[in-house]
A = this chain, B = another copy of it.
């Protein structure tokens, strides 16, 4: 069954790829998804990438309860206001109505900081830096596999510090860790910056974000990192004895990245044949396919050599041999292209005779004969080249989908046409932000970190504006 064309209907293509490549499936509960082995393996790759970064930064993994008393959320007014409409609530447990309803965590600030208040006594207990890999539930009306689901998997990092400067440094470190993951592993170029006030995390002082533009011109918020100031510390009574013997309230951060990253990866790289996985994140980097000839003795030699070949590859490639007899080579090519394996090695009678292999790149379909003697070097270089090329393509997409504009007429036209990022002056007033959203469905995505102050006029109201912000229609 052919996939829908990616360029004609990204959304149909995406759903077909996610289902057919067996990344995920719809669960029989509204809004929920099942992450199948091919999708979960990508999540495990992401975990294996982020865990060492966190460990090196002194962040330890831990686990906090799924269920949170509703009253905990109420303690931080903005926080509860942000999450109340999305909560799933347990009211019955062990056959009895609960005296206080328990909320299925939508995020864990409140339950974690109730514990921080117990554990933190002195500056010696700081910084406290914890992370958890867990599931959260936020009730969503519409479902979009990986991108918007009622339950999703994520990691949430939570830290407490003696000083605001230290907390700010941690907020930056977390975002830069996400940038490394996205740029160097997922090969997705985007814009890193700070959120507008209205788009800041519920309860935070500032939110840093990484924003990606997808091929259909819609914007995906890829990861965020928050400076929580002292607001949660105050709300949860976290106090510590300072170095000079006074009482202080710690400065906190939180930051998270979810299974949505898998959605970004799929949207960002695939083509009409299916997924294209960057080498560094592909659970299997090389698929070896023996080309049988219907000559039993030659076929057993082909199979033996193909197996030897597969086993000779470095373990980090996780090379696999597809030795199924009942499936034709063509069907195998189709399947592994759909699943996005970066490199295919074909090995048949011709290759056996000439001491070569046929190597096919998933990204550009180029086919090369490689001599056995040079194989491992050539493959390593090709895998690295695939990684680089995918990132360059992503950078080109970002550039071609970013529109510098001066008038609101242009703004409207672009949002009705190609969409993508709009870079424009904004006065930073919420009234303008709301009006723009109403007219165009575009929200303020971020102010890039590298933006320099200029003197301009707000694209909507024409009053003085200092910065060019990024706008777009988000998923």
**0 or 1 for each of A86-102: is its CB under 8 Å from B? (1 = yes):** 11111111110000011
When distances are taken between beta carbons in the complex, the residues of chain B under 8 Å from A68 are 29
A36 beta carbon closer than 8 Å to chain B = yes
Chain B binder among A131-139, A181-189, A357-365: A131-139
Q: What residues on B are CB-neighbors of A114 within 8 Å?
A: 28
Chain B nearest Cβ from A258, distance in angstroms: 12
For the complex, is A276 an interface residue (Cβ under 8 Å from B)? no
Interface string of A259-286 (1 = CB under 8 A from B): 0000000000000000000000000000
Whole-angstrom distance between the Cβ of A323 and the nearest chain B Cβ: 15
A residues 55-77 near B (Cβ < 8 Å) are: 60-69, 72
A104 within 8 A of B: yes
Tell me, yes or no, whether A27 is within 8 Å of chain B by CB.
yes
Query: Is B88's CB under 8 angstroms from A93's CB?
Result: yes
In the complex, are the beta carbons of A27 and B62 less than 8 A apart?
Answer: no
Please, which residue of chain B has its CB at the minimum distance from the CB of A132?
A: B40
Task: Find out whether the CB atom of A62 lies under 8 angstroms from the CB atom of B36.
Answer: yes
CA distance A62 to B23 in the complex (A): 10
Does A10 have its Cβ within 8 Å of any Cβ on chain B? Answer: no
Partner of A139, one of B85, B93, B115, B141: B93
Evaluate contact between A89 and B93: CB separation under 8 angstroms.
yes
Bitwise, A124-161 to B at CB < 8 A (1) or not (0) is: 00000010001101011100000000110100000000
Q: A37-B130, A61-B44, A89-B91 are in contact. Are A118 and B25 (CB under 8 A)?
A: yes
Q: What are the residues of chain B within 8 A of A80 when measuring CB–CB?
A: none
Question: Across the interface, do B139 and A27 meet the contact criterion of CB distance under 8 Å?
Answer: no
Q: Does A406 contact B (CB under 8 A)?
A: no
A66: B residues at CB distance < 8 A: 32, 66, 104, 135, 137, 151
When the two chains form their complex, are residues A65 and B29 in contact, meaning their CB atoms are under 8 A apart?
yes
Nearest B residue to A130 via CB reads: B37
Task: Give residues of chain A (338-364) contacting chain B, Cβ–Cβ below 8 Å.
Answer: none
Alpha-carbon separation in the docked complex, A122 to B85 (Å): 44
Residues of chain B within 8 A (CB-CB) of A111 are 27-29
Indicate whether A432 reaches chain B with its CB closer than 8 angstroms: no
The one of B40, B65, B90, B137 that contacts A62, using a Cβ cutoff of 8 Å? B40
Indicate if the CB atoms of B65 and A27 lie closer than 8 Å. yes
The smallest C-beta distance from A319 to any residue of chain B, in angstroms, reads 15
CB distance from A32 to the nearest CB of B (A): 4
What are 12 residue pairs bridging A and B, where the CB atoms are less than 8 Å apart in the complex? A25-B118, A28-B72, A28-B111, A29-B67, A41-B60, A41-B61, A43-B63, A63-B153, A66-B151, A89-B92, A92-B101, A93-B139
Q: A27-B115, A87-B94 are in contact. List 10 more A-B contacts (CB 8 A).
A: A25-B118, A28-B111, A28-B115, A29-B65, A34-B62, A34-B115, A35-B62, A35-B63, A37-B61, A66-B66
The 9 closest A-B pairs by CB, nearest first: A94-B139, A37-B60, A35-B63, A32-B65, A88-B93, A89-B92, A93-B139, A27-B65, A91-B91
